[in-house]
């Protein structure tokens, strides 16, 4: 009886350690995106992609996460929504992260559904802007390096009230921009829609990596994609468009990740000759 109890206790401790590791051990994924449209000056340009923090904290003052981001030496940091969680709203943890990473590289942010569900985005937007974060709301900007430039476009999440027609109008306007275009948009399930508008590189989140990942198979369930979703993690290509989907950092409705550790993505842009 004593031996069985000890084995059961060891099993429970091992399982608890495994579950904690899966939710808190941050992994770095490195991806290269090549394009003939990329100007020479942006060859080697490095983008750190973050998404879906959901107000989670990593250590004291987000230190482990910030250290990993800093180590990547990014030229640009993009955050594709759900910085906060509408059910467990912790603005302080989210703003602490953004404050620290804004000192590493320029930070561009678009909303996810939870910013709108929280009902507090108007206040949050002002605080992010005060920290120096570029909040992209159906807008575009140019990024320059020497004499070369590319464009970055950010669209609001549909739960802001944006209709598909309005989003399409924003993307059509970007079609007039001559050069390499990056799009920040929370929802990856709209990939075909983005690619029709000839965006070169899309950064998205929302899918949480499928929450539970089956080795050699993929994610099990994702918001708005249901079971065995198509877009959950990594790089996808459709014609001349590439989409990078972050597995995200935190959790929301489902509190546990399995074989799906929190992730930062480091994308290196290369000129395809």
CA distance 13 to 3: 15
When the candidates are 3.90.1150.10, 3.60.21.10, 3.40.50.720, 3.40.50.300, the CATH number that belongs to 2-271 is: 3.60.21.10
In this prediction the pTM is 0.96
Q: What is the CA radius of gyration of the chain?
A: 19
Closest to 264 measured CA to CA, from 52, 82, 95:
52
Q: What are residue 78's DSSP bridge partners?
A: 49, 108
Residue ranges of the domains in the chain?
2-271
* Contacts with 213 (C-beta within 8 Å, 6 or more apart), sequence order: 219, 220, 232, 233, 258, 259, 260
Q: Look up tokens 């495994």; give the residue.
A: 18
H/E run at residue 60: none
pLDDT for 162-172, tens place per residue? 877 788 788 87
Here the tokens at position 249 are 């950092």
CA distance 221 to 209: 8
pLDDT for 30-87, tens place per residue? 999 999 999 999 999 999 999 999 999 999 999 999 999 999 999 999 999 999 999 9
Confidence of residue 199 (pLDDT cuts 50, 70, 90): very high
Confidence of residue 1 (pLDDT cuts 50, 70, 90): low
């Amino acid at each position: 009886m004593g031996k069985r109890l000890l084995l059961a206790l060891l099993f429970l401790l091992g399982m608890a350690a495994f579950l904690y590791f899966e939710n808190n051990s941050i992994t770095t994924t490195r991806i290269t995106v090549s394009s003939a449209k990329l100007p020479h000056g942006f060859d080697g340009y490095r983008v750190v992609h973050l998404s879906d923090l959901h107000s989670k904290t990593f250590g004291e003052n987000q230190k482990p996460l910030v250290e990993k981001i800093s180590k990547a030496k990014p030229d640009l940091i993009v955050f594709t929504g759900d910085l906060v969680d509408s059910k467990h709203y912790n603005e302080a943890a989210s703003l602490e992260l953004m404050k620290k990473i804004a000192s590493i590289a320029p930070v561009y942010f678009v909303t996810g559904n939870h910013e709108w569900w929280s009902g507090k985005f108007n206040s949050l937007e002002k605080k992010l802007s005060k920290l120096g974060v570029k909040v992209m709301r159906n807008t575009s900007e140019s990024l320059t390096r020497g004499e070369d430039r590319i464009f970055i476009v950010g669209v609001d999440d549909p739960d802001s009230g944006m209709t598909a027609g309005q989003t399409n109008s924003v993307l059509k306007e970007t079609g007039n921009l001559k050069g390499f275009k990056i799009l920040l948009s929370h929802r990856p399930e709209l990939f075909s829609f983005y690619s029709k508008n000839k965006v070169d590189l899309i950064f998205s989140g929302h899918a949480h990596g499928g929450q539970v990942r089956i080795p050699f198979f993929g994610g099990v369930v994702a918001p708005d994609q249901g079971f065995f979703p198509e877009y959950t993690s990594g790089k996808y290509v459709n014609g001349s468009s590439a989409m990078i989907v972050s597995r995200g950092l935190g959790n929301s409705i489902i509190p546990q990740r399995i074989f799906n550790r929190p992730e930062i993505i480091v994308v290196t842009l290369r000129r395809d000759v």
